[in-house]
């Protein structure tokens, strides 16, 4: 069904239309790539607002049970994003247009879905519409949370030595230390079961009270990521180290690659090797791989916990602000 607001038109579109919009949008990220989402086996509705023949804004909606929507697991910046048209108009016109566009989306979504949960693209810091709206469906309050990511920019302009020197003294010292380790070797071969085992050990070590259902979902999604990697390692890449003697996988970084940004998905290391510096070396290798793949930026994604943020910024990253917006709902995912 098509809904209109003066000269604006909202309608649900197929994946090929969504892919074309993503291809032409500077805000199209790895996490919102329809081709990737199809391979990830998630249930997504694509909604678009147009002005005449001009496509303005696309909103992918990931649907779970009971019409509860949420970003796919391990995803960031999953929400509405704009065409390049928005950069060509005045600030006043952009403001008025965004209010009308979001109003069309939300009026439709209140009829069709039971909640709202998005991460706005880091380019989009104007959240006034959501502060004014206040509620979503049946007076469920809209909560707005400032979030941060760690971000290395302009990899294409930096030498490997510059990247290394931007690391903290501790990271540099650990990398130099682990390079002398005689029982570690780089690997470009990975099996799903060993990745799953390394992830399970890491999660249970950090949160031994995690719900079995939640852990099962995460492991299933990792399996889907791995399937994509086996099909196309330019979309998903893996980088890691093994023990020379036992061939045991002891360190792993999984990245997703968009148009010009590499996004960190997993960073795992065996607990018995954490003090060797192998985690830092694997991360450095991954950043270098990103540069080799002609990526311009490297995004560590969420940087919102005290310990995790410090670790990510120790690799020379700056912070980047984005907003999470979600409605309160009595219904669970």
User: Under DSSP, is residue 86 helix (H, G, I), strand (E, B) or coil?
Assistant: helix
Fold of the 154-295 domain = Aminopeptidase (3.40.630)
- Provide CB contacts within 8 A for 181, sequence distance 6+: 276, 277, 278
User: Strand ranges (DSSP E) for 65-125?
Assistant: 81-82, 117-119
Residue ranges of domains in the chain: 3-147+323-327, 154-295
Nearest to 143 by CA among 117, 125, 104, 108: 117
Q: How far is CA 93 from CA 47, 100, 124, 127, 133, in A?
A: 22, 11, 15, 16, 20
Going residue by residue through the chain, which has 333 residues, state the pLDDT in tens, using 9 for 90 and above. 566 667 899 999 999 999 999 999 999 999 999 999 999 999 999 999 999 999 999 999 999 999 999 999 999 999 999 999 988 888 889 999 999 999 999 999 999 999 999 999 999 999 999 999 999 998 899 999 999 999 999 999 999 999 999 999 999 999 999 999 989 999 999 999 999 999 999 888 877 778 888 899 999 999 999 999 999 999 999 999 999 999 999 999 999 999 999 999 999 999 999 899 999 999 999 999 999 999 999 999 988 887 778 889 999 999 999 999 999 875 544
Fold of the 3-147+323-327 domain = Aminopeptidase (3.40.630)
């Amino acid at each position: 069904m098509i809904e209109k607001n003066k000269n604006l038109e909202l309608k649900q579109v197929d994946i090929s239309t969504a892919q074309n919009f993503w291809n032409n949008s500077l805000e199209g990220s790895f996490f919102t790539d329809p081709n990737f989402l199809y391979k990830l086996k998630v249930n997504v509705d694509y909604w678009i607002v147009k002005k005449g023949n001009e496509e303005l804004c696309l909103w992918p909606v990931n649907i779970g049970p009971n019409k509860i929507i949420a970003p796919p697991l391990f995803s960031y910046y999953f929400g509405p994003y704009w065409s390049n048209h928005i950069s060509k108009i005045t600030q006043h016109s952009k403001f008025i247009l965004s209010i009308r566009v979001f109003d069309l989306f939300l009026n439709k979504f209140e009829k069709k879905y039971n909640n709202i949960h998005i991460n706005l693209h880091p380019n989009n810091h104007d959240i006034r519409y959501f502060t004014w709206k206040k509620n979503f469906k049946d007076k469920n309050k809209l909560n707005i949370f400032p979030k941060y990511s760690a971000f290395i920019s302009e990899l294409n302009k930096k030498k490997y030595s510059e990247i290394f020197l931007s690391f903290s003294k501790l990271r540099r010292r650990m990398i130099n230390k682990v390079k002398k380790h005689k029982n570690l070797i780089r690997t470009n071969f990975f099996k799903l079961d060993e990745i799953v085992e390394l992830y399970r050990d890491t999660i249970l070590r950090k949160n031994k009270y995690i719900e079995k259902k939640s852990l099962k979902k995460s492991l299933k999604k990792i399996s889907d990521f791995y399937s994509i990697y086996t099909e196309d390692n330019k979309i998903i890449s893996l980088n890691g180290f093994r023990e020379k003697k036992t061939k045991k996988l002891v360190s792993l970084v999984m990245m997703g690659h968009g148009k010009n940004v590499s996004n960190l998905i997993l960073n795992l290391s065996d607990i018995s090797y954490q003090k060797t510096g192998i985690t830092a070396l694997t991360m450095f290798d991954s950043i270098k791989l990103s540069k080799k793949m002609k990526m311009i930026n490297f995004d560590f994604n969420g940087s919102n916990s005290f310990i995790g943020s410090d670790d990510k910024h120790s690799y020379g990253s700056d912070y980047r602000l984005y907003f999470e917006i979600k409605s309160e709902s009595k219904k669970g995912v």
